[in-house]
Structure 1
Amino acid sequence: MLKKPTSSESSRQADIVPLKDGIKALLKAYRLQGKLNEVTVVSSWERIMGKAVALKTQEVYVSNRKLFVRLSSAPLKHELVMAKTRVMEIINAEIGEQVIQEVIFL
């Protein structure tokens, strides 16, 4: 014999949200989404820019919505400085929102 759901069981069904939505709400509530996006930018640098650039990259970090990249190659640095706006667009497109406002090559 099947048991009829009681009112408390059916109200629990209404409280169920997908895990993805729950995590998004949690990140928003604790204001962690921005920091998570910054960490994602740094960890995705090699995938976004390619292996050749990553091999000549010594350091990547984000501070105050600015991406700082230390390179070991002066010619590569010059080339990326000339394409700074495009680099920023590619990174922000990858993340899906305006995370980086400026890129600084060191």
Structure 2
Amino acid sequence: MERPRIFTGMGEYSMQHALQAFLNNSRLKYDIQALQITAVWEELMGKTVSKYTEKLELVKGTLFITTSIAPLKQELSYQKDLIAGRVNEKLGDFVVRDVVIR
């Protein structure tokens, strides 16, 4: 089955490329990426961390992780680079540039 194509005065694009270009130029991209992180959080960090994570937010490349468990806050603060690397690898893009534990 042939994929739908979009023709513009400058060339031809697949729907996937057109949608990707639209998302790259809109604020929806960050909302979608935040949802993707939430969806894979347990897989990336394990059930225990996921269970005690109260909130995940992605704001302009910064992942905010909220938990009220002090030992977990401390453990996560040591793993900031690892967390960013795992999320970026899973999403296949350089989404998380910094991690803040609250």
TM superposition score normalised by structure 1: 0.70
C-alpha contact (below 8 Å) 2:53/2:67 kept by paired residues: yes
1:76 to 2:72 alignment: yes
Structure 1 gap ranges (5+): 1-11
In the alignment, the residues of structure 2 paired with residue 54 and residue 72 of structure 1 have an alpha-carbon distance, to the nearest angstrom, of 13
RMSD of the TM alignment (CA)?
2.7
C-alpha contact (below 8 Å) 1:38/1:99 kept by paired residues: no
Greater share of helix residues, 1 or 2? 1
Q: How many residues align?
A: 95
TM superposition score normalised by structure 2: 0.72
**Shift, 1:39, TM fit:** 2.6
For the pair shown, the structure with the greater C-alpha radius of gyration is 1
CA change 1:31–1:69 in 2 (3 A) is closer
Greater share of strand residues, 1 or 2? 2
**Shift, 1:91, TM fit:** 0.6
C-alpha contact (below 8 Å) 2:65/2:100 kept by paired residues: yes
Structure 2 gap ranges (5+): 8-12
In the alignment, the residues of structure 2 paired with residue 64 and residue 23 of structure 1 have an alpha-carbon distance, to the nearest angstrom, of 21
1:46 to 2:65 alignment: no
Query: What SS class does the counterpart of residue 98 from structure 1 fall into?
Result: coil
1:9 maps to which residue? none
In the alignment, the residues of structure 2 paired with residue 61 and residue 48 of structure 1 have an alpha-carbon distance, to the nearest angstrom, of 16
**Shift, 1:18, TM fit:** 6.4
Matches within 5 A, 1:20-35: 20-21=16-17, 23-28=19-24, 32-35=28-31
